[in-house]
Amino acid sequence: MTEQTLSSTLSARDLEAIEARKREQRKVLISSIFRYIILFAVGLIMLYPLIWLVGASFKTNAEIFSGAGFWPRSPTLSGYVEGWKTSTPYTFGRFFLNTFLILIPKLIGTAISATAVAYGFARFEFPGKKILFASLIAILLLPNVVTRIPQYLLFREFGWLDSFLPLWVPSAFAGDAFFVFMLVQFLRAIPRDMEEAARVDGANSWQTLIFIVVPLLTPALISVCLFQFMWSMNDFLGPLIYISSVDKYPVSLALKLSIDTTEAFDWNKILAMSVLTIAPALIVFFMAQKYFIEGISAGGVKG
């Protein structure tokens, strides 16, 4: 009798524990479903303009503004086909080529010059270092538009107008203060043990930089190149000021050109070319996303 009572008591406790566990699991499940619904709704709101842009590029010109939906009723590629031809003697392929002719030297120049200058600031002591670094921070806070006129006058004196040189040369001389500052912060977080060991083995400063520091800087350098890639792809004002020949236009000016040359805009063409214009930046971002996040979180923009 006593054993039966104990057994029934334990069973009741077990049942109560099982019920409590089930209630806890239900709470966790409901909480997870609620969080996912909120995340999905916020994500959809944030991505809606991009999704609408892609959907609208497959619509006819008359259908684009007939509703807020992004799914085309009668999908068509006419926007891509006609938009690629442009209203100029050149196709959009020429403008993409010009964009990469601007981008690639800028990326190479930025990576090399920003690394060398940041290494000097982070590892060496020299007269006027504090003043120069303070000037770097001041330039970082200065709006780009302030230097446009003196830069334009300087490049005009050099005879560089209507060429890619005004867009290349500043990057080759560490003209982007943000990237130098970013790499300095990253270098300050790297211990100097390996560099000192390399110097003991007879390596000079350049050898230490190239063979020891640069491999350690890879995530930060990828972040720098990715930032420069996206900013240069989206740069409209720089090419507008310095380039006047249509055959040298990048895609940012070509899009504006396609709006200016017609009275009644063919929006499906413009939206289709806009999708193609942002595609390289998105592809590069997703390919380098791992290194980009690592470079940022490892100290690139902290402090």
Question: What are 6-39's pLDDT values in tens digits?
Answer: 555 557 778 888 888 888 899 999 999 999 999 9
Given this model, what pLDDT does residue 296 score? Answer: 64
DSSP state letter for 258: H
Average pLDDT over residues 256-269: 71
Residue 113 belongs to what H/E stretch?
helix 92-123
CA distance 160 to 167: 10
Which segment of 7-11, 144-148, 208-212, 215-219 scores lowest on mean pLDDT?
Answer: 7-11
**pLDDT at 3 > cutoff 70:** no
Given this model, what pLDDT does residue 116 score? Answer: 93
Burial 207-218 (b: 16+ CB within 10 A, else e): ebbeebbeebbe
pTM of the full structure: 0.78
Dihedral class, residue 161 (left if φ above 0, else alpha if ψ from -120 to 50, else beta): beta
CA distance 287 to 219: 13
Which segment of 85-94, 113-122, 173-182, 289-298 scores lowest on mean pLDDT?
Answer: 289-298
Task: Name the band, by pLDDT with cuts 50, 70 and 90, for residue 136.
Answer: confident
Average pLDDT over residues 252-272: 76
User: Quick check: helix, strand or coil at residue 147?
Assistant: helix
Q: Which one-letter amino acid corresponds to residue 60?
A: T
CA distance 70 to 63: 10
**pLDDT at 280 > cutoff 70:** yes
Query: Which residue is it, tokens 């006129």?
Result: 149
CA distance 280 to 4: 74
> CB-hemisphere CA count at 13 Å for 36?
6
Q: What is the mean pLDDT of the chain?
A: 85
In 31-101 the beta strands, taken as DSSP E runs, fall at: none
Q: Are 242 and 50 in contact (CB under 8 A)?
A: no
Which residues touch 37 (CB under 8 Å, ≥6 apart)?
none
